[in-house]
Amino acid sequence: MSARPYTREELRAVGDSMPSRGKLCSRCERFIPEFAELTPEAEARIRELLRNQRPVTAVQELRAVTGCSLAWAKLWVEHVYPWPATRPGPPCPSCGQPLATARAKMCIKCGARFTPAVPPQTRSVE
């Protein structure tokens, strides 16, 4: 099985079809593509957007950097970081609602700010 990253030319050629190589997600049984033009800097920027709960901007950024389709960008973003939170964070110390992520520094429900109790996860790609 080849996990060669997709080049911009390939991305243009694949059209509507979904990735046929990359990391296989055991949960949804789809391939999570890797992109030849996604630099570590761009990836860090996109992860930062996701951390700041801006998935739409992250998808736009990924598309701009790699030239991939909207569907692919969403697929990638969904797998690089659990958004929408597949694993909700701990309850807010202030209002008790679950936080968006385990690393949230602020409650989006009541606006309370705090220091995350959970150490940062490294990668969440499966």
Q: Is 28 in the site for Zn ion (CB under 5 A)?
A: yes
* Interactions with Zn ion, residue window 82-121 (CB under 5 A): 92, 94-95, 107, 109-110, 112
d(CA 32, CA 75): 7
- Alpha carbon 120 to chain centroid, angstroms: 15
36 Cβ contact partners less than 8 Å away, ≥ 6 residues apart: 5, 6, 7, 8, 66
> Minimum distance from CB of 99 to Zn ion (Å)?
8
Identify which of 64, 60, 71, 112 has the alpha carbon closest to the alpha carbon of residue 91.
Answer: 112
- With CB under 5 A as the contact rule, the residue among 27, 41, 115, 120 that binds Zn ion is 27
Q: Is 24 in the site for Zn ion (CB under 5 A)?
A: no
- With CB under 5 A as the contact rule, the residue among 8, 10, 14, 25 that binds Zn ion is 25
Tell me the H-state helices in 15-51: 40-51
> Minimum distance from CB of 98 to Zn ion (Å)?
9
Report the interface residues with Zn ion, using CB under 5 A.
Answer: 25, 27-28, 92, 94-95, 107, 109-110, 112
